[in-house]
Amino acid sequence: MSLWKKLTGELIDIIEFLDESGDTLVHRFERYNNEIKNGAKLVVRESQAAVFVNEGQIADVYPPGTHTLTTSNMPILSTLKGWKYGFESPFKAEVYFVSMRQFTDLKWGTMNPIMRRDPEFGPVRLRAFGTYAMKVSDPAAFVRAIAGTNGRFTVDGIHEQLRNIIVSRFSDTLGESKIPMLDLAGNQSELGDLIANIIRPEFTGYGLQLMKLLVENISLPPEVEAALDKRSSMGIIGSLNAYSQFQSANAMEAAAKNPGAAGQGMGMGMGFVMAQGVGGQIANPRGDGTYSGTNPTGAPGAVPPPVPNAPAYFVGINGQQSGPFDLNSLSSLVRSGSINAQTLIWTQGMAAWASASSVPEVAALLTPNPPSPPPMPR
């Protein structure tokens, strides 16, 4: 090194560090041969601490303020000794500025799903992520355990290790908490506080203090979330029978809006079905599908209910709607001549009224009966 650089190194009398990066945890003050002039000024700003290392050992830690460095208060080289030994002092001292401010919005998250046994859904895989805030609480311990002799040590240098600690302890705590999966969203704040209390001693071992840990989200794999959405939809729909009736009512209403006789017949059929439903509610106020033993007038022992799932047919006779009839009743009407191939028929599931000959179940009833056998010869 040139003589000019040696001289400028000896003339340094102010030791300070201004951090413009925003992510520096430790910065080593650089100067020639680590020599410090006798009477130099050490300027430690707020949110900083200065750690002196003499001959490989931490000598002292200075808090914020302006400090005058002399041979009387620390074992370092004075300028006179430096001149005496030709700038080759037997005493060496290094100065490390440690940031004491709080570092916030540091991210953590699970790289792989966490396997967990849920009491309701069985084995599930969960992912989680969040943020945390930390600061250096013990500068000497941090320099000794983490920074070492690095000239510049940033948050990135330790962030990965801290993230691994958080994820590991989060996995253990989540499994031991026994909180049902559907209740995790309402317990994220409590879960974050619990994990923070568990890992704070580990941060302390590095000379750090964990200020806050937040659990922002706990999620399921996409395919499981889709299945859960379907289950939620079914819960909103409620009874499948009620939903089917609602869909059928919408279909009949749409068909009734169509022009023509078929649309008018459908409107009549819809009104009749709705009237039947209201009557059924009166006859069976329990709404459980069982027969209550009374007719709409309240008289006991009336007509028994129809056979479950038996189709009911409505018939247009002489321009008026009649029914509903089961197949046996329709057969009697066919035999009496009240129903023929052109008679309009409608039953649930049909989009519109149709002729009897086009409805397979009714068309089978229209087949003419075979003639009576001739009399036996005498």
Distance CA(271)–CA(252), nearest Å, equals 9
**Strands ordered across the beta sheet of 152-154:** 57-62, 48-54, 93-99, 24-29, 152-154
- H helix intervals, 178-216: 188-205
User: What pLDDT, on the 0 to 100 scale, is given for residue 44?
Assistant: 93
Q: Which pair of tokens denotes residue 157? A: 């240098």
Exposed / middle / buried, residue 374 (Cβ in 10 Å: 0-12, 13-18, 19+): exposed
Q: For the chain, list the domains and their CATH numbers.
A: 3-99 (no CATH), 103-225 (3.30.479.30), 241-300+309-366 (no CATH)
3-state secondary structure of 124: strand
User: What pLDDT, on the 0 to 100 scale, is given for residue 291?
Assistant: 43
Per-residue pLDDT of the chain (378 residues; tens, 9 = 90+): 454 445 444 454 688 998 888 889 999 887 766 667 767 788 999 999 999 887 777 878 889 999 887 655 554 433 333 434 433 343 467 889 999 999 999 999 988 888 888 877 788 888 899 999 999 999 999 988 887 767 788 899 899 999 999 999 998 888 787 788 878 878 888 889 999 999 999 999 999 999 999 999 888 877 777 777 776 666 665 555 665 666 676 676 666 666 554 444 445 455 544 445 444 444 444 444 444 444 444 444 455 555 556 678 888 887 788 878 888 888 888 888 888 888 888 888 788 888 888 888 888 888 765 556 666 666
User: What pLDDT, on the 0 to 100 scale, is given for residue 244?
Assistant: 65
User: What pLDDT, on the 0 to 100 scale, is given for residue 147?
Assistant: 73
Distance CA(276)–CA(273), nearest Å, equals 5
**3-state DSSP: the chain helix, strand, coil percent, rounded to 5?**
40, 25, 35
